[in-house]
Amino acid sequence: MRFKVPRELIPWNPTVNHEKCIGCKTCFEFCSHGVYSWDEEAGKPVVSNPTNCVVGCSGCRSQCPAEAISFPPLSVLRNYM
């Protein structure tokens, strides 16, 4: 997909609900784009590089056993195309 604005201006990245997250590390291990880092102390993922997230991808969400990962609706992307 091509967008008319720089990646930094496109609001597309995962959000983790830490109350739901069970700390299984699947999202951290699944994403090959370095979006997540791992907070050893909390035992939870951190979305430390949100703009590395591939616009339109939501692969990690479907891997999460706790349904703790969310994304904006795909329709928001129309504003940037």
Per-residue binding string, ligand SF4, 33-72, x by CB under 6 A, is x-x---------x-------xx--xxxx--xxxx-xx---
User: CA torsion, points 54, 71, 29, 47, in degrees to nearest 10?
Assistant: 90
Q: Which is nearer to ligand SF4, 6 or 32 (CB)?
A: 32
23 binds ligand SF4 (CB under 6 A): yes
Burial of 13 (0-12, 13-18, 19+ CB in 10 A): middle
Stretch that binds ligand SF4, among 1-9, 27-35, 72-80 (CB under 6 A): 27-35
One-letter identity of residue 74: L
The residues with which 45 forms a beta bridge, in sequence order, are 38
One-letter identity of residue 31: C
Residues in touch with ligand SF4 (CB under 6 A): 14, 16, 21-27, 30-31, 33, 35, 45, 53-54, 57-60, 63-66, 68-69
